[in-house]
Amino acid sequence: MKNFRNQRIIASLILGVLCITSCEKSEDVITKETIELNDEGFRSETGNNDLILDVKNEDVQYPVLHMSFDKSISKKEAEFQWNEAIKEYLKKNPIKNTKGSASDWHYWIQTETGDELYNQTDGLARAKVSFNTSAGNHHTSYVDLNNGDDRKSGQWDYYFFRASIVGQLVSWVEAEHAHLELTGTNGWVVKSFFVKIYPGDQTGYASSTLQDGVYGSFILSSPNIWLDNDYLNTWDRYNTGNVGIGRVIF
C-alpha cells in the first residue's frame, strides 16, 4: 500500500513537471510569434506618412490590363510577356486616332517591391499621374493598383491604363510627375516606380523623341524607400518630383 502511494506521488510530480515545461514552451511560442508580428515596426521614410485623406468622393480608375511577375522570372521575359498581352488588348480595343491628334493615350505603371524581410505588403495602394499635353496639364484621377496578388517580395507589378482629356484632342503628351500612396500599417518597400508612354502602345500614328536609346516618354524613379503608417486608415505618399523625360507625338 505504501509503495502504491509513493508511486502516485511520483507520477503526480512528473505530470506537474511536464505541465510546467509545456506551459513554458507555449509561452515561448506566443512570445516569439508576437515579436515576429511586431518586428517590422514603423518604417516610413517619406516624411508624408499618416495623411488623412477624404477619398469617398474621389473618382478611381482601374487598369485595363494587369500582370505580376515574381523574382524567378527574368526582367526580359516579363517584358516580353507583358508586351504580348498589350498587343492582344489593343487588337480587341482600338481607339482609331488620326494622324496629328489623339483623343486618348495609353500608359504603363510599373512597381517593383523590395526582396528583403518585411518588404512586401497586403496594404492597399494607388497612384496619380500628371501629364503635360498640347491641350494643357492633365492630372489623372486616382488609379487603382490592387489586384489581389500585388506587392509580393521581389515582385514586379504591371498596369496598363488609358488616359484622355474630356472634349479635347492632343497632338503630343509628356509624362511629368507622379505620386504613389499606401494605406495601413503593413509597410512596403518601393524599389522602383515607373510610368511609361510608348508610341507602339498607341492606336493610330505616334512617334517620339529618343531617350536613352528608347523612344517614348517616361517617369523613371528608383527610390528604394519605405512607405508605412502608424494607423490603419491613414496614407503614406511618395512623390517622384518633376523627373519626366521625352514626348510622344500623335
Which of 112-126, 134-148, 206-220 has the least mean pLDDT? Answer: 206-220
Confidence (pLDDT) at 28: 42
Confidence (pLDDT) at 105: 96
Q: Is the pLDDT of residue 241 over 70?
A: yes
Cell of 104: 486618348
How big is the CA angle at 78 (ends 179 and 201), to the nearest 5 degrees?
65
Which of 67-71, 202-206, 209-213 has the least mean pLDDT? Answer: 209-213
Residue reference for cell 508610341: 199
Confidence (pLDDT) at 66: 98
pLDDT tens digits for range 118-144: 999 999 999 999 999 999 999 999 999
Confidence (pLDDT) at 95: 73
d(CA 106, CA 202) in angstroms, rounded, equals: 6
pLDDT tens digits for range 28-59: 433 333 334 445 789 999 999 999 987 777 88
User: Is the model more confident about 100 or about 130?
Assistant: 130
- Mapped to the 3 state alphabet, what secondary structure does the chain carry? CHHHHHHHHHHHHHHHHHHHHHHHHHHHHHHHHHHHHHCCCCCCCCCCCCECCCCCCCCEECCCEEEEECCCCCHHHHHHHHHHHHHHHHHHCCCCCCCCCECCEEEEEEEEECCCCCCCCCCCEEEEEEEEECCEEEECCEEECCCCCCCCCCCEEEEEEEECCCCCCECEEEEEEEEEEEECCCCEEEEEEEEEECHHHCCCCCEECEECCEECEEEEECCCEEECCCCCCCEEEEECCCCCECCEEC
Which pLDDT band holds residue 153 (cuts at 50, 70, 90)?
very high
Which of 25-34, 138-147, 207-216, 223-232 has the least mean pLDDT? Answer: 25-34
Does the reported pTM lie above 0.75?
yes
CA 139 to each of CA 53, 130, 249: distance values in angstroms, whole numbers, following the listed order: 18, 4, 19
pLDDT tens digits for range 156-166: 999 999 999 99
Confidence (pLDDT) at 149: 84
Cell of 175: 509624362
Q: What mean pLDDT comes out for the span 7-30?
A: 45
Q: Is the pLDDT of residue 193 over 90?
A: yes
Q: Is the pLDDT of residue 172 over 50?
A: yes
